Amino acid sequence: MKTIPFFPLGRRRYLLVVVNLLLAIGLTVLSIRYVQPKDCYRLCGVEEGKPCLPGGCRFGEQKAGWPLTVFVDTPGGGSPTDGWGLLGPEDPPLVMPLLLTVLFYSILVWLVIFIMGLIQGQMLDPKLILLALPMNVLLAAFLWMFGWSSGFDIIGRGHGEQVDVASATSAYPARGFSPTVSIPLEELIENYGDPDYVWFTSAGPTEATTTGMLLYWNSINMFVELPQIANKTYAVHKRTGIEMIIFFVDGQDVTAQNITVVEGKPLSGEKFAWTGYGNYQP
């Protein structure tokens, strides 16, 4: 039986260069989805010597990239303030770490190709590696310029925004964090412990009203909004995704206020104690 060579012959062997370039760039883009620390939802107070509030991060604390840090949250000046303390499209890539990350994944792909060739008793042409090297540098430069000019929307885990919270007589200042990636409820409970109270929300016309849920942590003045569902019974699981994290002004006793509306959604008149994962009914 005739053995088909793993490496293409003649000019077709240059297809390996194309494969290497595509995989190196693809792996680089995937690696910048690695964000640490995860629980950065708002800008921490800038006063020196004071600890950060829960969910707060200082400038430069949240970073993205692996094995090297390619993105670092940086002060954004006056705009957009919603991105302060959070990684986002406004944060440009670092040129040298980006270049080295692309080269790292290029070498990793070549190593895999080399090993697969050895299994079939073939040797990789070193000229292909030398040919791909400057091309990888050019692609890294393109990624860097794109990041500076347009930004990467995939950077970070979400963005901040102003949230409307009101009682029957007053409005209260609050900041929200809307995730752009899936954040399970389990992650927040692991970080901050169990919530204290549960409120139900409703949205839509009477004949097609959906039910939502707000969880409240009394010790840190934090609401977490869960998705709206078309069911009266709300099943809360560890993997239930969150819609928004809402922080109130530090020191403001939200539970003492007659909060009636959050983000345009009316709250149930009664709050319930959190009893763990499971089914809840208004």
The pLDDT, as a whole number, for residue 107 is 93
What φ, ψ does residue 272 adopt, rounded to 5°? -115, 150
Rounded to two decimals, the pTM is 0.79
Burial call 216-234: b when 16+ CB within 10 Å, e when fewer: bbeeebbbbbbebeeeeeb
Residue with tokens 């409240």: 216
| Start-to-end C-alpha separation, the chain | 71
pLDDT along the chain (282 residues), means of 10: 46 80 92 90 70 81 92 67 75 92 94 84 80 89 83 81 79 84 93 90 64 86 88 89 84 62 75 90 80
The pLDDT, as a whole number, for residue 220 is 84
